Structures are given as structure tokens and as C-alpha cells.
Structure 1
Amino acid sequence: MLKQHRSMKIFENQAAQALRLLLQQVPALKLLDIEHDNSAPDSGVDFTARLKVSGKRHALVCEAETSGQPRHVRNALLSLRDYMSHHAQDATPVLIAPYLSPDAQALCREHDAGFLDLEGNARLVFDGIFIERQVASKPLADRRALRSLFKPKSAQVLRVMLRDPQRTWRVTELAQAAAVSLGHVSNVRTALLEREWAQVAEQGLFLSEPDALLDEWRATYEPPPGRRLGFYTPLHGNAFEQAARHAMRAEEEFPAAAFSSFSAAHWLAPYGRTGTQYFHATADGLERLQSALKLSLTDRGENLIVTVLDDTDLMRDTQEPAPGAICTSTIQTYLDLSKAGERGREAADHLRRKLLTWKT
């Protein structure tokens, strides 16, 4: 407890220094002092910056929050509002955190509060003063947390939830549906709630902001790891289609191969044709495709790409829009297309408009 208190005081001092440096860059402002609040730690305010603007006194009432996740930001803003209503109606509330995402910044705007983070994002509006700064960088810890959320096991949970965002899930049934451990589901649950992408109802967890989740996933998405092999197939048109559907016919619990990227989009939400066919496959699925489609390895002139997946659990998440036409899921297809160049991004946007719109 003492260590946590010491850590909070260190951040409070960092926050005060960051605010001091920001205000000193504005010639029209004169910073008089920064007074730290030594009352109860949950008073809703950590320090007050007193300054003069064109000869008129003004105060910035500041809360230093060590977590910039929207859930914590919302609570801090409510504490600030409560403090302001009782102690400082004529001042400006300011939230300061290590990093504030666009969602967290939007919360500050909704609550008419200024904000500042240690990455350099800032917005202060008072007495004719307008300060706004946006930076593109994210702190390493935040990038790591997002990468962890979208790693294969966690991604299995997200794909299950995105099939029907409004469905509620108990932890045990979600773990079973995604074929992951209870610990993985618990970690995903915490991350979603921290970012306010999910909520808990009486019946369980559900996605309250599926679009925000999908936007962030797309922004940080990396194609599934595996061997990417280029082949040439002499088959075209109906002959290719029939042979591919025969090769992908699932006799096991999960298919060994599936149309992916542009080839999956052709079945799900067509957006023009491409001269190359795409598949995700296991090692066994690759053998089936090689035999059925008469594939030959080539250094040039390839017209078929197979990604032999390192993590074959991805094959759990497939669909069959027509008999034998096994495709990666709509979510997976969307993500893969988003990394397939400009034409891929256009196809991804088309697919999202057609199949990935939700009422929230």
C-alpha cells in the first residue's frame, strides 16, 4: 500500500511538471503557483494551478490519474465534477494521465474537462485561451497491451463475441465456445471492460462498442503467422471452383483449408475479381489443395497463394456460404483484406458495410 501511494505521488509530481511546462509556452498566461491537495486521497483533486490571464485570476483544478483507460477516466471525471460542484464552480477541471486514447479524450470533452497526458496530447480551453495538441505516438505499454489483446488465443475469444456482439456470455461458456482457458477469457474480459468496449449485464458479458473494437483491431492487425507459398494452377472458372470445393470438403471437426482474403470475399460480399486465389490451410489442407488443384511451385506467374498456418486453431473460425465453399469468417476476411493494399482496403470497407454493421 505504501509503495502504491509513493508511486501515485511520483506521478502526481510528473503531472504537475507537465502542466507547468505546457502553460509556460503560452505568453498570455502567468502561472502563479501549483498547490497540492493534501487532504483525503479520494477527494477528486490532486492539485490546483493558479494563474493570471490578461490580469484576471483563474484556476485549473487537476486530477492525476495513473491509468488512462476509459473506465478509469470516466470515474476520475465524475470525481472531478463532484469536487467542482462543491468547491470550485468558477475553475476549469483538468484530467492528467500517462496516456489518453482518442476514446478517453472524447470522454474529457463530453464532461467539459481539459486534459493532458505525458505523451504530449493536450486540450485546455478557458478565458479566451485555447491550447490543443495531438501526437500520433502511443506508449510502449499501451501498444503491448493491445498486441496481447489481439494475439491468437485472445483473438479466438474476440471472434466468437463479434459474431453476435449483443449476446451475453458467462466466462465458462465463452471459454468453451472459443476453446481457450478460463484465464484467457478473464484477461480479455478485463481488457474489454477497461476500454469500455464491453459491459456486464445480469446475464453476462457483451460487446457494447463492437465498432471501436474492430477499428482498433484493424489498426494493429498482423496477418496470421505461417508459410506463405505461391503456386500456379492450370484450372480456371468452374473447373477451379468445383475442384477447390471438393478439396475443402470437411470430414473432420474443422476444415483443413478455406478460401481467404479476396477469394473468401468473393463468396461473402463480392467486390470485383482478382486474378489470384487465396487460401488458409493446415499442412494436410495444403496437400489436398496441391492434389485437387494441380498446383506447381513457381517463382513467378503465381496465381494462387496458400498460407500454411502456424496456429491451426484459426480454422475453427470458418463458414460455408455455399456447399463446399468454406471461407474464413467475416471478421477474419475483413482483417486480411485490410492489409492487402489499396484494393484490399476498398474490398474490406465494402464487406464491412454489407456484413459488419451492428445495432448497439
Structure 2
Amino acid sequence: KQVRVEPGQTTYKPDFGFLVAYGQRKFKVAGGVKPSGEPSVLRRSAAWLKDLLTKTKHDYAVIIAPFISREGAAICRDVGVGFIDLSGNCLLSLEGLYIERTGYPNKFKKPREIQSLFSPKSSRVIRCLLSDPGRVWTLKGLATETGVSIGLIHRIATALENNLFAKKELRAFKLEDPARLLEAWREEYSRRAPKWARYVVRIGSIEDLVAKLKATAIHHGVRYALSGPSGASLISQYMTPTMVHFYVDVLKQEFLEELKADRVPSEGNLLIRVVEQENEFIGSREVKDVYVVSDLQLYLDLWAMGGRGQEAAEELRRERLQF
């Protein structure tokens, strides 16, 4: 019957609070607003809000997001928090009041035009643009730099402008919102990235494994680059690696045999992915005598890990990418 917004007043402050009056009962509700309703985001947010209830005088908590799937709804229900999304789904479970609406489709699906920006060939252009986000590019110059046809460059520039990522003037254009473009790319990358092949190599430490991988790759003529936490740890101590993410241009049997690497279905301390179009190698550099992928590729791979990987990705973004 009544909802009144209240500002937070404690150290453990939600994004907003409101009062729900139902009959003679009143409930003080804490709210958290999230730009994404992905399960990994919901797990962290729901746990934080549930913990907040023990530290404040709120009776209940809800998460607000653009869309929350059935899987996300189950996460909220299991933790004991409610949700309201902007696609028509909701869950409120208060004493004497229960409202649940699920099954409404996502109204915020990315247009196909945006998805096409991050196809393997198009992403070469996006990678180039984000590597120097302040630069003004001509279509011809970008085609020369990336090896992509001028026709595709024109379509990409139009799509970027249509989605307010860039501003086009005559035959030149410049990124207007590199941060939002990076965020759109990371979500699409996480969705479509191929899985890593997992192996166990019995060796003393991660440092020993990296040294052995480098020596074995050189011996067998394999191009390589580190990524993930093991690559990021060579640049800054975002997180302590417990495994090595290793890109190669070809996976040779003799390479695996020399490593004594055993394939496993899960876990493992060595994750290998074969690069198909050299995109992941673009911008790779030598750091402490080992090749590491570019900061952009590090960010994408860390984000795709979820959990602490995403926290490390955001640290990398603040310190190195700065947009």
C-alpha cells in the first residue's frame, strides 16, 4: 500500500532503502542496483545484502537489475533476498506477503549489430581502437593498421556510431565512450570465448612451470604468451596465480610429452588455448623474460574467469587501461 524511499544512514549502506507498508505491517527494505543480472554478479550481491541485514535495521533486501533469469531468481531465493528487474520479473517474500513473477523475456538483449562488432575479424579493429582510445582514425589508416578490408571498417564505424561508441566525421572517426565499448566487449567475449584445455604438470611451483613452459616452447618452435593471473602477476600483484593460462599458435604432441602434461577434465595447473587468428597475440610483449598478452587481452581473460578474476580485471583496468 505504501512505499517510501529512505536514504541510507550507516557505514554498511545499501544503494537505497524504502519502507513497505502492508496492512498493519511495515518492512524496512534495503536495495542494491546492479548493471547486470548475471549469476556471478547476483551471488556476490545477494551475499553482501544478506550480510548487510545483520548489520543494519533493515528487514529485507532486494536486487534491482535490467534482467534476472530463472537461474538468477533461484540464487536470490536460496540466499533469501528478493529482486525486481526491468523486464517484468520480481520476487518479494515478506511475512504475510509473497509476490513472484518469472518467465518474462530479457528486454535488454544486445542487438545483433553490437554482437557482430566482436566477431573474430571485427574484434581486431576494436582491439586496435581500444589500444589508443584517444586517436582519430581514418578508415583507410585503420584498414592498413589491422589488415581488415575498408568495406568492413566502414560497417564497423557505422555500427560504433549507431550505438554511441564513436563519432564519425567524413572519412575519420574517434571513440566517444571507450569504457562502455570495453564493457560490451567483455560480456560478449565471456559468452563466446572457447574453453581452455586443462592439464596437470607435476612440478614444484608456478614459477617453475612458467620457466619450463618457456623453455619447451622455444625448443619446439611454439609461439606462446601468458595470460590470466599468471600473466597479470608479472605486471602487478593483482592475485596470486595457482595455474598458468598459456596461449600457443600450435599444440604439438611432442611439446606436451616433454612437459609430461596429463589432460584432465577439470582443475589442473596448466590451461592451454590454441590461437586461431592470432588476435590474442596482438600487442603481446616480453615481461621479465616471458611473453605476456596485451593488457586488453589480460583484462578480457581475467574478466571471463568471474569471481576474483573480475576483481583483478578491474584493478588492471584502473592501473593500466585507465578508461
TM-score by length of 2: 0.59
| CA RMSD after TM alignment | 3.2
Helix, strand or coil: the match of 1:258? Answer: strand
Helix, strand or coil: the match of 1:241? Answer: helix
Alignment partner of 2:304 out of 327, 336, 339? 339
Alignment partner of 1:272 out of 209, 230, 239? 239
* Distance in 1 between residues matched to 2:281 and 2:140, nearest whole Å: 18
Residues 288 and 352 (structure 1 numbering): CA distance in 2 closer, same or farther, change over 3 Å?
farther
* Distance in 2 between residues matched to 1:231 and 1:170, nearest whole Å: 45
What residue is the counterpart of 2:212 in the other structure?
243
Post-superposition Cα deviations, 1:249-269, rounded to whole Å, max 9, x if no partner, equal 5999xx732212222212233
What residue is the counterpart of 2:47 in the other structure?
none
What residue is the counterpart of 1:183 in the other structure?
151
Residues 185 and 291 (structure 1 numbering): CA distance in 2 closer, same or farther, change over 3 Å?
farther
Instruction: Between 295-304 and 256-265, report the one with greater CA deviation.
Output: 295-304
8 Å Cα contact 2:138/2:173 also seen in 1: yes
Shift of 1:316: 3.8
What residue is the counterpart of 1:262 in the other structure?
229
Residues 319 and 186 (structure 1 numbering): CA distance in 2 closer, same or farther, change over 3 Å?
same
What amino acid is the match of 1:153?
A: K
* Distance in 2 between residues matched to 1:250 and 1:271, nearest whole Å: 31
* Distance in 1 between residues matched to 2:160 and 2:147, nearest whole Å: 19
* Distance in 2 between residues matched to 1:301 and 1:209, nearest whole Å: 37
* Distance in 2 between residues matched to 1:250 and 1:167, nearest whole Å: 40
Q: Is residue 110 of structure 2 the alignment partner of residue 145 of structure 1?
A: no
Post-superposition Cα deviations, 1:94-133, rounded to whole Å, max 9, x if no partner, equal xxxxxxx9xxxxxxxxxxxxxxxxx89xxxxxxxxxxxxx
What amino acid is the match of 2:316?
A: L
Shift of 1:223: 5.7
1:5-44 correspondence runs (5 A): none
Alignment partner of 1:208 out of 150, 168, 176? 176
Residues 328 and 354 (structure 1 numbering): CA distance in 2 closer, same or farther, change over 3 Å?
same
Post-superposition Cα deviations, 1:130-150, rounded to whole Å, max 9, x if no partner, equal xxxxx993466x531221111
What residue is the counterpart of 1:169 in the other structure?
137
Q: Is residue 125 of structure 2 the alignment partner of residue 157 of structure 1?
A: yes
Residues 323 and 289 (structure 1 numbering): CA distance in 2 closer, same or farther, change over 3 Å?
farther
Gaps of 5+ in 2: 1-65, 67-86, 89-103
Q: Matched residues, percent identical? A: 27
Size of the alignment, in residue pairs? Answer: 222
- Following TM superposition, where does structure 1 have runs of at least 4 consecutive aligned residues deviating by more than 6 angstroms? none
What amino acid is the match of 1:241?
A: V
What amino acid is the match of 2:200?
A: Y
What residue is the counterpart of 1:328 in the other structure?
293
* Distance in 2 between residues matched to 1:250 and 1:331, nearest whole Å: 28
* Distance in 1 between residues matched to 2:320 and 2:224, nearest whole Å: 23
Residues 232 and 173 (structure 1 numbering): CA distance in 2 closer, same or farther, change over 3 Å?
same
Alignment partner of 1:196 out of 160, 164, 168? 164
Residues 217 and 315 (structure 1 numbering): CA distance in 2 closer, same or farther, change over 3 Å?
closer
8 Å Cα contact 2:210/2:244 also seen in 1: no
8 Å Cα contact 1:335/1:348 also seen in 2: yes
Residues 227 and 237 (structure 1 numbering): CA distance in 2 closer, same or farther, change over 3 Å?
closer
Shift of 1:287: 4.8
8 Å Cα contact 2:166/2:177 also seen in 1: yes
Post-superposition Cα deviations, 1:56-108, rounded to whole Å, max 9, x if no partner, equal xxxxxxxxxxxxxxxxxxxxxxxxxxxxxxxxxxxxxxxxxxxxx9xxxxxxx
Shift of 1:298: 3.0
* Distance in 2 between residues matched to 1:220 and 1:308, nearest whole Å: 19
Shift of 1:194: 1.4
8 Å Cα contact 1:153/1:184 also seen in 2: no
Alignment partner of 2:201 out of 233, 238, 256? 233
Q: Is residue 261 of structure 2 the alignment partner of residue 304 of structure 1?
A: no
Residues 146 and 234 (structure 1 numbering): CA distance in 2 closer, same or farther, change over 3 Å?
same
What residue is the counterpart of 2:11 in the other structure?
none
Post-superposition Cα deviations, 1:140-185, rounded to whole Å, max 9, x if no partner, equal 6x53122111111111100011111111222122122222222221
Post-superposition Cα deviations, 1:293-345, rounded to whole Å, max 9, x if no partner, equal 33222346621111224x33324414224254222221122112112121111
Shift of 1:290: 2.1
Structure showing greater Rg: 1
8 Å Cα contact 1:233/1:304 also seen in 2: yes
Post-superposition Cα deviations, 1:14-72, rounded to whole Å, max 9, x if no partner, equal xxxxxxxxxxxxxxxxxxxxxxxxxxxxxxxxxxxxxxxxxxxxxxxxxxxxxxxxxxx
